[in-house]
Amino acid sequence: MTALSTFQRPLDGVTVVSLEHAIAAPFCTRQLADMGARVIKVERPGVGDFARGYDARVNGLSSHFVWTNRSKESLTLDVKNDEARTILDSLLGQADVLVQNLAPGAATRLGLSFDTLHADFPGLIVCDISGYGEDGPYHDKKAYDLLIQSEGGFLSTTGTPDPQGMAKAGCSVADIAAGMYAFSNILSALLLRGRTGVGSHIDVSMLESLVEWMGYPMYYAFDGAEPPPRAGASHSTIYPYGPFPTGDDKTVMLGLQNEREWQAFCEKVLQQPELAGDTRFSTNARRSEHRDELRALIVRVFGGMTAEEVLARLDETQIANANVNDMHGVWAHPQLKARQRWTRIDSPAGEIPALLPPGQSSAYAPRMQPVPALGEHSEMILAELDYGRDDIQRLKDNRII
């Protein structure tokens, strides 16, 4: 990629005000910041986004917070205070986007609904992120990631076949899904406003976001059909597609997608070409039906080989495969290193590594700036709004900021 000495980011000049906590909204706004937007993160004085306290794994900082909050400005503000609302209105008068994922009904009680704001700020885009959406019988229910994984059917597809063998995703998939759809909807709203000059309301539901991701298992269970079974780390309906142990107590992951690959797998990897014609395994549906028998055959062959030997044979046969990495393996992944996907950013705990956002552009480099300390930018932002030193000190003394 050609290095650019000067460039513009897609969202340079766009200002986002966010009343956010946890993951969904912060993940959305961090991506807006990656693309150049100025993101002013409004936090509760003295406490801040409660994700700041989830853990202390990154030199004393929270892993969740570090991940989702770089390149933002932190403004502490007690939004329930009348004078704080004056400050917030001043910010919204200069903003392009308001994002919030407060508790159900909180934004409306604070006078921050789209209907209330649109009269005063007709160009403002308002994005509300919630568990279940702004209406419907569930609109007042609290929603956390694991609860949405449960409601959205995700847990019914993960884990082992045992009735109590369901397993949650190891990352916040419902929050991430909602954050991604909020991000893409905001980009669309900015494009639309560029043509109409008018802001719009975006209502993003965690449930609807995750259910969209469940499209395959839902259609597989269409019209009362049997849902896909829980199959651990293996694919529930394609086989062989999953992890297999090797003779050196390691595990390799492999996946077959079609009959040509199945025949090559039998001939060159298992070196048992007769299996390709075995009626038990003649189609994917039959292989999946007889997966226990087929697994035993594969494990027997792989048991006499090292993981390196199995992977080499798979590569030679052009069968898709992968290492089973833990987090330390991902930190050291040679592909990420070769593509120079790591950089370093500043934080209240010093310099830390950060992964560049997916998608390399020839036109611009992503914004990669520090993770903010709580209230780090309060005085600067208030000074921009023409608050003097004495006013700022009074706001501090009264715990408004």
Q: Using CA atoms, how far apart are residues 252 and 268, in angstroms rounded to an integer?
A: 17
Confidence of residue 7 (pLDDT cuts 50, 70, 90): confident
Q: Using CA atoms, how far apart are residues 64 and 61, in angstroms rounded to an integer?
A: 9
Count of helix runs (H) and strand runs (E) in the chain: 17, 11
What pLDDT shows up at residue 1? 39
Closest residue by Cα to residue 54 from 70, 65, 69: 65
Mean pLDDT across 363-387: 96
| SS3 category, 344 | strand
What pLDDT shows up at residue 5? 45
With 80 as the cut, is the pLDDT of residue 183 above it? yes
What pLDDT shows up at residue 355? 96
What pLDDT shows up at residue 163? 83
Q: Do the Cβ atoms of 102 and 137 come closer than 8 Å?
A: no
Q: Do the Cβ atoms of 301 and 270 come closer than 8 Å?
A: yes
H or E, element range at 129? strand 125-130
The HSE-up count of residue 188 (CA atoms within 13 Å, CB side) is 10
Residues sharing a CB contact under 8 Å with residue 70, sequence separation 6 or more, in sequence order: 30, 33, 345, 347, 354, 368, 369, 370, 371
Closest residue by Cα to residue 192 from 90, 96, 92: 96
Strands of 72-76's sheet in order across: 72-76, 38-43, 15-19, 97-100, 125-130, 201-205
Alpha helices per DSSP H over 39-172: 63-68, 82-92, 106-109, 114-118, 145-151
Residues sharing a CB contact under 8 Å with residue 125, sequence separation 6 or more, in sequence order: 96, 97, 98, 186, 189, 190, 193, 199, 200, 201, 202
Q: What is the mean pLDDT of the chain?
A: 95
Confidence of residue 177 (pLDDT cuts 50, 70, 90): very high
Mean pLDDT across 345-356: 97
With 60 as the cut, is the pLDDT of residue 2 above it? no
With 90 as the cut, is the pLDDT of residue 97 above it? yes
Mean pLDDT across 80-93: 94
Q: Do the Cβ atoms of 151 and 207 come closer than 8 Å?
A: yes
Residues sharing a CB contact under 8 Å with residue 283, sequence separation 6 or more, in sequence order: 259
Q: Going from the N-terminus, what domains does the chain have, and what CATH number goes with each?
A: 15-213+334-397 (3.40.50.10540), 241-324 (3.30.1540.10)
Give the orientation angle of helix 206-213 with respect to helix 173-196, to 10 degrees.
Answer: 110
Q: Using CA atoms, how far apart are residues 23 and 101, in angstroms rounded to an integer?
A: 9
11 or 237: which leads in pLDDT: 11
Q: Using CA atoms, how far apart are residues 162 and 358, in angstroms rounded to an integer?
A: 37
Confidence of residue 253 (pLDDT cuts 50, 70, 90): very high
Strands 241-245 and 251-255: antiparallel
Confidence of residue 232 (pLDDT cuts 50, 70, 90): confident
| SS3 category, 346 | coil
Confidence of residue 59 (pLDDT cuts 50, 70, 90): very high
Mean pLDDT across 290-296: 95
- Omega before residue 163 within 30° of 0, cis: no
pTM over 0.85: yes
Confidence of residue 6 (pLDDT cuts 50, 70, 90): low
Mean pLDDT across 319-341: 95
Written as six digits, the tokens of 372 are 């903010």
Mean pLDDT across 263-283: 95
Amino acid at 27: F
pLDDT digits (tens, 9 = 90+) for 9-22: 999 999 999 999 99
With 90 as the cut, is the pLDDT of residue 233 above it? no
With 60 as the cut, is the pLDDT of residue 159 above it? yes
With 60 as the cut, is the pLDDT of residue 71 above it? yes
What pLDDT shows up at residue 34? 98
